[in-house]
Amino acid sequence: MKRLLIGLLVLGLSPQLFAQVRELSEVTVYATNYKYLNDVNTEEVASIPVKELEAKVANFNVKESEFYHDDYDEYVISFYIPQGKILAAYDKDGKILRTAERFKNINLPLAVKNAIVGRFPGWTVTEDNYMVIFYDDRGSYKKYKLKLQNGEKTLRVKLDEKGNFL
């Protein structure tokens, strides 16, 4: 009787052992707009709303939008937040072709801050504009327009993301 119970137990568990083996088809996962995100992101901590809006632009699915139509080759979509906006052009497959970005009063990179302090000691940044132009085939161009103030004096300067004055 003991052998019969052990035999039934082994036979009862053996189909479940074979059920564990499964073969899955190969799945390829890729990001359509990885090039955009790699190009516009900096190594430093930037303003969180800017990063979130850029991520939203990169993850936007043109084919699921209400504007999608098979006949069009290009779609221009605007994204807004209180600190700025991004105008992005997509192809019919959802790849970003180009963007124009403009943000006001964001966190400046350390290189820009150091360049201002080094060249204009005693001046404070009262207003800043951050602009990015991205082209899929050329990459991105980033520029900061700053308004500096020292007492009654006002000065406007332009810098790139590395702190070089333009």
**101-158 pLDDT, tens digit each:** 999 988 888 889 999 999 999 899 999 999 999 998 888 899 999 999 998 999 999 9
Tell me which residue has tokens 């190969």.
Answer: 26
Q: Where are the alpha helices (DSSP H) in the chain?
A: 2-18, 34-40, 48-59, 110-119
Query: Is 117 inside a domain boundary?
Result: yes
Q: How many domains does the chain have?
A: 1
**44-86 pLDDT, tens digit each:** 655 778 888 888 888 888 877 777 777 778 888 899 998 899 9
Query: Is 9 inside a domain boundary?
Result: no
Query: Is 16 inside a domain boundary?
Result: no
Whole-angstrom Cα distance, residue 110 to residue 94?
A: 34
CB 100 within 8 A of CB 40: no
Report the relative pairing of strands 84-91 and 96-104 from DSSP bridges. Answer: antiparallel
- Kindly give, in sequence order, each residue whose CB lies less than 8 Å from that of residue 61, ignoring residues fewer than 6 positions away: 94
**pLDDT of the residue at 103:** 92
**pLDDT of the residue at 55:** 85
Percentage of the chain modeled with pLDDT above 70: 78
Whole-angstrom Cα distance, residue 141 to residue 47?
A: 18
**pLDDT of the residue at 159:** 93
Angle value at C-alpha 130, between 75 and 141, nearest 5 degrees: 65
**pLDDT of the residue at 27:** 54
Query: Is 137 inside a domain boundary?
Result: yes
Amino acid at 114: N
**18-50 pLDDT, tens digit each:** 555 556 566 555 566 777 777 777 666 557 788
**pLDDT of the residue at 21:** 57
Which domain does 68 fall in, by range? 31-160
**pLDDT of the residue at 87:** 94
Query: Is 45 inside a domain boundary?
Result: yes
CB 145 within 8 A of CB 103: no
Query: Is 13 inside a domain boundary?
Result: no
Query: Is 165 inside a domain boundary?
Result: no
Instruction: Name the DSSP letter for residue 30.
Output: -
- Kindly give, in sequence order, each residue whose CB lies less than 8 Å from that of residue 11, ignoring residues fewer than 6 positions away: none
